Structure 1
Amino acid sequence: MAPSISTIHSSPLNILDFVVNKGHGVKGLSDLGIKTLPYQYIQPSQERFDHTTNEEFNKDSIPVIDLSKWDDPKVTKAVCDAAEKWGFFQIINHGVPMHVLENVKDATHNFYELPAEEKLKYSKEQSVTNSVRFGTSFTPEVEKALEWKDYLSLFFVSDDEAASLWPPVCRNQALEYIKSSETVVKKLLKILMNGLNVKEIDKTKESILMGSKRINLNYYPKCPNPELTVGVGRHSDVSTLTILLQDDIGGLYVRNIDSMKWVHVPPVNGSLVINVGDALQIMSNGKYESVEHRVIANGNDNRISVPIFVNPRPSDVIGPLAEVIESGEKPIYKNVLYSDYVKHFFRKAHDGKATVDFAKV
């Protein structure tokens, strides 16, 4: 039986117990109909999003690139320019079927409609594998203020493992989305590597660029005081590339590299949002830049998003690619074991671009 709203507000232990230990997540809080935000979610003033000061910048946004002629020089230039100047872009006519995108969105909603005790089977404490993790916020044990988000994170090892361990309600749809996006990922990486004078992606480079994949099913419930909290705090991804599917609610904001202002990424029907991750910034020696992004909380609607994180393998060592520095360019980053880099990211709360300093020379 869920506790009453008054009981939840009376004790910080009850909040964490209800949200984390009992598996209700912030969706459970929202479903209770709470009228005010629990103090555990109130962010410091500097981390809150001021819509009034950012409204004038919403007229601008990241590039939208049509990939129907992906080998056209104008298209390849647009992709490389976006990776350098924005770190983010949207793609349309990318070849991933619309029904695949709609199915995985529906499957995300279906997972979060499961009873709390069902979702709890996939929590850190109860999951039979580290490859499957249901949780809330980012790293609750080290965060001073929690984020208003629940997630299911699925690390792809093999079809057989997914078939036996991923939640049945979303397994097939998540796998189909991963597999359907592989062709466009390879096309984008080919374009971006050509921009670094890497003319061929052999098996070794393919492993370092896209040797592992993780898909997250993210849920951002309606929030009673969205101005006081965040869906996701400021961060850059640790991936090579991230391929994000948004619903039509919106709420993703990107830090413009030049102006440092926050720019909204409006949902475009059928599009995928692509962003450069830290691993690609390191491998490109800073030519392609991972940028800060965040998700605001919403007071009117429930929002979902489904990112695929395309990563090196945990056992890979990443550093500036040989082709990038062979002309004498000074390395900005050292070689680091990718699993060490990822562990450093998850040891702390979201803190903008601070993680990449771990790899600096």
Structure 2
Amino acid sequence: MAPSISSIDSTSLNILDFVVNKGNGVKGLAELGLKTLPHQYIQPPQERFDTNVEELQNDSIPIIDMSNWNDANVAKSICDAAQKWGFFQIVNHGVPIRVLEDVKDATHEFFKMLPQEKQKYSKEQSGTNNVRFATSFSPRAEKALEWKDYLSLFYVSDDEAASLWPPVCRNQALEYMKSTQLVVKKLLTLLMKGLNIKQLDDTKESVLMGSKRINLNYYPKCPNPELTVGVGRHSDVSTLTILLQDEIGGLYVRNTDTLKWIHVPPVSGSLVINVGDALQIMSNGKYKSVEHRVSANGTSDRISVPIFVNPRPSDVIGPFAEVVQSGEKPVYKQVLYSDYVKHFFRKAHDGKATVEFAKV
């Protein structure tokens, strides 16, 4: 028997117990039929995002056709987008549509599982930090929770995935990740050329894309979407993020010039690419990671599937020597990547504040 609404809405502890400790997640809250948003999810006014009244920019991030990777105009478009927007969408990228649809379906199947089944993959029960079912971003550090559940899968090997990843989504997540590998390598090759780095050698490849994490994100229908967020303002700590959206939409990117928010419309078969902090640091600020956020939705459930392409935790990152060899002053110091990531996760989402950790 499900707990009554009043019994879980009385104190923060009970909400945390129901959502976090018992594995119900925000999905469990949504399925109680709440008429109003629990106060634990009400964001301070400056962090709320009401898409009905928010001043949005009537522009959008570039959509780049990748049919011909060798076209100089394609390379220029990618480098320009990474500098100006920090975000772009790619179409005709070569990842089979079937692979994209399969991983979206598998995401829905995972979140259909019973709470006690999903809870086996929580921090407390999974037995590994590489597999994590969780909710919000950092519930113990946040003053207001985010309206989102997720499964995070850090890739070590096929053997580990076979033994530890949930069977209901394992094969689909692996295929999606592997199918995007060539796309990522091609994008990074072009972006390096934009930094006058002619070749993506083994050393550079290792530091740029030495580790990967895939998240299955679930945003349940929300009773008061204007009072909360799906994900708060942040930039990613990755080198690049490859995002698969569903048809619902809800991703917003901040234009660094106008400071207005721009909706990233779902485009069938596309992948959204964004620059992460690691690439901003390694490019000495030429390529920009930008603030983005996800709105809560009052009419339907939504999913998304990002792949975070990262340095390895043991890598030390800083501006590439080729970028600063002509006398350009380094903006960022050398930092251990795992230290940077720990700094990001020990606090609530706070816009672009994390990158200050790496500044000279």
| Structures share fold, TM-score greater than 0.5 | yes
Say if 1:244 and 1:272, in contact at 8 Å, map to a contact too.
yes
Aligned ranges for residues 211-290 of structure 1 at < 5 Å?
A: 211-290=210-289
Is 2:39 the partner of 1:7? no
Moved more, 47-56 or 156-165: 47-56
Aligned ranges for residues 167-178 of structure 1 at < 5 Å?
A: 167-178=166-177
What is the rounded CA distance, in whole Å, between the counterparts of 1:290 and 1:82 in structure 2?
A: 11
SS at match of 2:273: strand
Unpaired runs of 5+ residues, structure 1, are none
What amino acid maps onto 1:226 in structure 2? P
- 1:341: Cα distance to partner? 0.3
Aligned ranges for residues 1-361 of structure 1 at < 5 Å?
A: 1-54=1-54, 56-57=56-57, 59-361=58-360
Q: 1:282-313 CA deviation, whole Å, 9 max, x = no partner?
A: 00000000000000000000000000000000
- 1:11: Cα distance to partner? 2.4
SS at match of 1:51: coil
TM-score, scaled relative to structure 2: 0.99
- 1:53: Cα distance to partner? 4.5
Unpaired runs of 5+ residues, structure 2, are none
TM-score, scaled relative to structure 1: 0.99
What is the rounded CA distance, in whole Å, between the counterparts of 2:283 and 2:53 in structure 1?
A: 34
Say if 2:235 and 2:351, in contact at 8 Å, map to a contact too.
yes
What is the rounded CA distance, in whole Å, between the counterparts of 1:285 and 1:108 in structure 2?
A: 36
What is the rounded CA distance, in whole Å, between the counterparts of 1:51 and 1:156 in structure 2?
A: 35
Say if 1:54 and 1:261, in contact at 8 Å, map to a contact too.
no
What amino acid maps onto 1:213 in structure 2? K
Moved more, 253-262 or 4-13: 4-13
Closer, same or farther: CA 189–25 of 1 in aligned 2, 3 Å: same
What is the rounded CA distance, in whole Å, between the counterparts of 1:139 and 1:319 in structure 2?
A: 27
What is the rounded CA distance, in whole Å, between the counterparts of 2:99 and 2:56 in structure 1?
A: 35
Say if 2:50 and 2:225, in contact at 8 Å, map to a contact too.
no
SS at match of 1:32: coil
Say if 2:242 and 2:274, in contact at 8 Å, map to a contact too.
yes
SS at match of 2:126: coil
SS at match of 2:342: helix
Say if 1:232 and 1:296, in contact at 8 Å, map to a contact too.
yes
What is the rounded CA distance, in whole Å, between the counterparts of 1:27 and 1:155 in structure 2?
A: 23
What amino acid maps onto 2:28 in structure 1? G
> After TM superposition, what 4+ stretches of structure 1 lie above 4 angstroms from structure 2?
none
What is the rounded CA distance, in whole Å, between the counterparts of 2:204 and 2:187 in structure 1?
A: 14
What is the rounded CA distance, in whole Å, between the counterparts of 1:163 and 1:50 in structure 2?
A: 42
